[in-house]
Chain A
Amino acid sequence: MKNSSKIRTLLIFLSIILGVIYAMPNFINFSSNSVSYSFLPGKKINLGLDLKGGSYLLLKADMDTVFEEKLEGLMSDIRYSLRKSKIGYKKLVARNGFVSFEKRGETLNENIKSAILGLDKNLIVEIKNNRFLINFSEINKQEITKATMIQAIEIVRRRIDETGTNEPSIQQQGADRIIVQLPGLDDPSRIKKLLGKTAKLNFQLVHPSISSDDIQKEANAPPGYVILEEDKNPNRLYMVNKRVMVSGEMLKDASPTFDRNNSPSVSFQLSPLGGKKFGRVTGENIGRPFAIVLDNKVVSAPVIQSQIFSTGQITGSFSVQETNDLALVLRSGALPAPMIILEERSVGPGLGSDSISSGKIASIAGLIAVMIFMLMTYGVFGVFANIALFCNIIFILALLSLLQATLTLPGIAGIVLTMGMAVDANVLIFERIKEEFKSGREIFDAIESGFQRAISTIVDANLTTLFAALALFSFGSGPIKGFSVTLMIGIVTSMFTAIIITKYLVLLYSKKRDIKKFIFQE
C-alpha cells in the first residue's frame, strides 16, 4: 500500500512535469532559431489560419472537362484499333458522353466488341441498332480522376512554391478536391489567378487563306479547323488548324523578358524533341501565321519569318506582371484539369492577432473568475480544485503542442468553456463527499466512497459529452474541428485531473489536518 502510493505520487509529478515541459514553448517568446528554447522537446501549438492570418482555398478539379478530353483520346484509340483489326466503320464521333460509330460490313458484333475491350476491359460497350456506344465505366473514371489528381496536386504545388509563399499546405480532400492553406497570405488573388489557368499551351497553324477579318462569329469552320477567339480581344477570331504542332509539354523553360519593341513578353526553350518538331514545322511554313494558343484562346499569331528551333518568344499585349505569371505557369506545366474555387477564407494578420489577444484575455479572465468562484464555494477544497484546474490547462496546452493539433479561435473558446465545465468533476466529487459525510460515515470513508461513487457518474456524463464532440470532429471543417479537438482533450484531461490529482491532494491534506472543519465551515 505504501509503495503503491509512492508510485502514484511519482506518476502524478512525472505527468505534471511532462505537461509543463511540453506546454512551455507556448509561453516563451522566441525567434524560430533562438538557442534558449532548443533544450525543450516540444513545439509551439500549431495556430489555425484564423489566428495567424492566411488563406484557405478549397479547389475542385473539373473532371467533366477531363472526361470529355479523354473521350476524344478514346475515339482516336478506337479508330486505330478498328483499322488495325480491319473492321469497317462510319460516323465515328465523340459526343454527349459517348464515343459512337456505325458498323460497316459483316464483322460480328462480338469481334468488334472484343477489339474495343482490348483497349481497356473496363469500358462499357452498348449496341443499339447497329450503332456502337462506348463509354467510360466508373472504374475508368476513378482511375482517370486518381491520375489527374496526383498530377494536379503536383502542378498546384509547383505554382504556389514559385510564388515564394511560406509553408503552404496542399492536400487532397475526397476524390476530386484540393485544400490549399497559405499561412500569412491574406490576399490570395494572385494565387487564384495562377490556379485559374490550366495553362495549356499549343502552337497551331492558322488557315492559309481565311484571314481573321473574314470570319463571322457563327461561321462554320472547314473540316480540320476551329475558330478561336483572341485572348485580349474576344471579337478578333482566328481560323486555326485543329492539329497541335507543338504543345506546352515540350517546354523546358520559360521566363519573362522584353521583345524587340521593348514590350513585355515571355521567352521559352523547348526540349530537344520539341525543338526538332518546332524546327520542322517552322521550316515548312515560312510566311504563314503560327498561332500561340493558351487555354483555347489565341495569345498572338505571328507570321513565321524563318526557321526556329529550340527557343522562341511569346509576344502579345502583356503587362510585366502578366508575363511573370505566364512564365510561371508555363514552367510549372499545365494543370490536367481546370480548377474551380469552391470556398475561400482569408484572414488578415490584424484580425488574427486581435483574435489571439482577445482569446488570451478571455482565457485568463475565465480562469481567474472560475478559480475565485470555486474558492468562495469550497474553501480549501476549492484550492484543490483550482490546482487541478491549473494542471488541466497545462495538460491541454501540452497535448495540443504534442499532437500538433491546430488551435483556432473557436478552439480557444473551447478551452475557456472547458475551464467552466472541468470543475464539474470536482464539484461532483465534493458534493458527494459532503453527502457521504452527512450520512454518518467517518471522514476517510466519506472521502473514499465519495470518490468511488462520483467516478461512475463522471465517466457516464463525460462520455456522452465526448460523443457530441466526436460528431463535431468528424463533420467539422477548419475552425470547428479545432473547437472539437480542444473540447475532447479538455474532457479527457479534466477527468484525469479531477479523479487523480484532486483525490491525491484531498487525501494528502486529510492525513495532516482535521478536515471536518473545512468541509462544514459555514
Chain B
Amino acid sequence: MKLLRLIPANTDFDFLSLKYFAFLFSVLIIFGTLLSLYFNNLNYGIDFKGGILLELRAKNVQDSDINDLRTQVSTLKAGEISIQGFGKEGDFLIRIQKQEGDQSQQIAMIEKVKTLTENEYTIRRSEFVGPTVGDELKTAGIYAVAVSLLAIMVYIWFRFEWQFSIAAIIALIHDVISTVGLFSFLQLEFNLATIAAILTTAGYSINDTVVIFDRVRENLRRYKSKDHYFIYNKSINETLSRTIITSVTTLIALFIIFFFGGAVLSDFALAMIWGVLIGTFSSIFVAVSILTFFDINKGEKVDDQSSIPEYERDK
C-alpha cells in the first residue's frame, strides 16, 4: 500500500526568510481587526448583551415566509428585532432586544411572541438573559481568557526560558485577536460558545508552539556551533510533518462538525477552523520569528556529538 505524504521527507525550507512577510500579514490582520471592531463592533449575542432569543420551526415549511414572520413580530413593538433563517428551511431565529422595564416585561414578551406564532410554528428553543447576567458573563469570559493565557505563559516560562514564554504569549494573543477579528468582520454572533472556541484555539495553538519550541530547545543543546537562524529553521522543518498532519486531522474533525453538527455548532466550528489555521501559522511564523529577536544562550560553542544523528556529525 502506498502511503499518503502531505509533506516531502526531509524538508529544508527557509521559513525565517519569510519572517517580515509574516509580520506584515499579522500586522494587517490585527490592524484589520481593530478597524472592524471600530466600525462594526462585535455582534454580541444575548449571552452578553441580554435579551430574548427564540428558535422557531414552521409546522408547514411551504407556507413559512420570513417576511411574513417579520411583519407579524414587528407588530409587537418590541424595539430592535432581528429574524434570520437558521439551519434548515422553515427554521428561524428571532432575537429581541432587552425590553424596557423590569423582569416581568421580558417574560411577558416571550409569552407574547409565543402566542403570536403558536399557530404556524413550534418553539424549539427560547432563551432570556437578563442584563446583570450578561455583564457577569462578559467579565467572566474576559477573565477566563486572561487567566488561561497567564497560566500558559507561566508554565512555559518554567519549562523553557523566559524568551520562549514571551514569544508564545505574543503568538497566542495574536491568535485570540485574529479570531475576534473574524467574528467582527463577518458579524457572526459572539456568544459563550465563541469564548469556548477562542480558548480551545488557544489551547491548540499553544500545543503546536510547544512542540516546535521543544525541538528548538533540543536543537539548541545539540548544535551548539550552529547559529540560531539555522537551528530555528531546522526545528520548524523537523516538526513540519507533524504540524501539518495534526492540523489536517483536527481540521477534518472540525469540518465534519461544521457540516453535520447542526446549526447551533456551525459558527463554533467555523471559529475553530479559523483558529487552527491561524494557530498553525502563528506557531511557525510568529512564535519562532520572535525568538530571533532574543539572544538565547546556548552555552559553549561545542556540539553535543553524541546526540547528533550519525550522518550529520562533523567528520
Whether the pair B207, A343 counts as a contact (CB closer than 8 A) is no
> Which chain B residue shows the least CB distance to A382?
B3
| A346 neighbours in B (Cβ, 8 Å) | 125-127
Residue A474, interface by CB 8 Å: yes
Of the 9-residue stretches B65-73, B74-82, B188-196, B290-298, which lies at the interface with chain A? Answer: B188-196
Chain B, interface size: which category?
A: 35 or more
Q: Tell me the bound Cα distance from A483 to B256 in angstroms.
A: 17
Which of A350, A417, A439, A483 gathers the greatest number of chain B CB atoms within 10 Å? A417
Residue B314, interface by CB 8 Å: no
Q: Knowing A460-B214, A467-B151, A479-B192, say if A421 contacts B246 (CB, 8 Å).
A: yes
Residue B95, interface by CB 8 Å: no
Minimal beta-carbon separation of A453 from chain B (angstroms)? 8
Whether the pair A471, B246 counts as a contact (CB closer than 8 A) is no
* Chain B contact residues, majority secondary structure: helix
| A471 neighbours in B (Cβ, 8 Å) | 144-145, 147-148, 151, 199
Interface string of A330-363 (1 = CB under 8 A from B): 0000000000111111111011001100110110
Minimal beta-carbon separation of B271 from chain A (angstroms)? 11
Minimal beta-carbon separation of A174 from chain B (angstroms)? 10
Q: Tell me the bound Cα distance from A440 to B311 in angstroms.
A: 8
- CB neighbors of A among B134-153 (8 A): 137, 140-141, 143-145, 147-148, 151-152
Q: Tell me the bound Cα distance from A189 to B132 in angstroms.
A: 21
Which of A351, A439, A471, A521 gathers the greatest number of chain B CB atoms within 10 Å? A471
Minimal beta-carbon separation of A295 from chain B (angstroms)? 13
Of the 9-residue stretches A142-150, A201-209, A266-274, A369-377, which lies at the interface with chain B? Answer: A369-377
Residue B183, interface by CB 8 Å: no
Minimal beta-carbon separation of B176 from chain A (angstroms)? 11
Whether the pair B256, A416 counts as a contact (CB closer than 8 A) is yes
| B249 neighbours in A (Cβ, 8 Å) | 370, 373-374, 419-421, 423-424, 427
Whether the pair B250, A421 counts as a contact (CB closer than 8 A) is yes
Whether the pair A467, B148 counts as a contact (CB closer than 8 A) is yes
Whether the pair A475, B141 counts as a contact (CB closer than 8 A) is yes
Contact of A348 among B125, B254, B260 (CB under 8 A): B125
Chain A, interface size: which category?
A: 35 or more
Q: Tell me the bound Cα distance from A359 to B272 in angstroms.
A: 17
Minimal beta-carbon separation of A441 from chain B (angstroms)? 9
| A192 neighbours in B (Cβ, 8 Å) | 107
Whether the pair A431, B241 counts as a contact (CB closer than 8 A) is yes
Contact of B196 among A365, A376, A464, A484 (CB under 8 A): A484
Which of B130, B238, B260 gathers the greatest number of chain A CB atoms within 10 Å? B260
Whether the pair B3, A376 counts as a contact (CB closer than 8 A) is yes
| B245 neighbours in A (Cβ, 8 Å) | 377, 427, 431
Q: Knowing A347-B124, A456-B214, A471-B147, say if A416 contacts B261 (CB, 8 Å).
A: yes
26 contacts between A and B (CB under 8 A): A58-B133, A187-B114, A189-B110, A340-B103, A341-B128, A343-B133, A347-B125, A348-B122, A351-B125, A358-B262, A365-B260, A410-B196, A410-B265, A417-B200, A419-B249, A420-B250, A420-B254, A421-B204, A427-B249, A431-B239, A465-B204, A466-B203, A470-B148, A472-B196, A483-B196, A521-B2
Q: Give the 5 A-B residue pairs with the shortest CB-CB distance, closest first.
A: A439-B309, A420-B253, A471-B148, A468-B203, A475-B144
B residues bordering A, Cβ < 8 Å? 1-6, 55, 57, 103-104, 106-107, 110-111, 114, 122-130, 132-133, 137, 140-141, 143-145, 147-148, 151-152, 155-156, 159, 192-193, 195-196, 199-200, 202-204, 206-208, 210-211, 214-215, 218, 238-239, 241-242, 245-246, 248-254, 256-257, 260-262, 264-265, 268-269, 272, 309-312
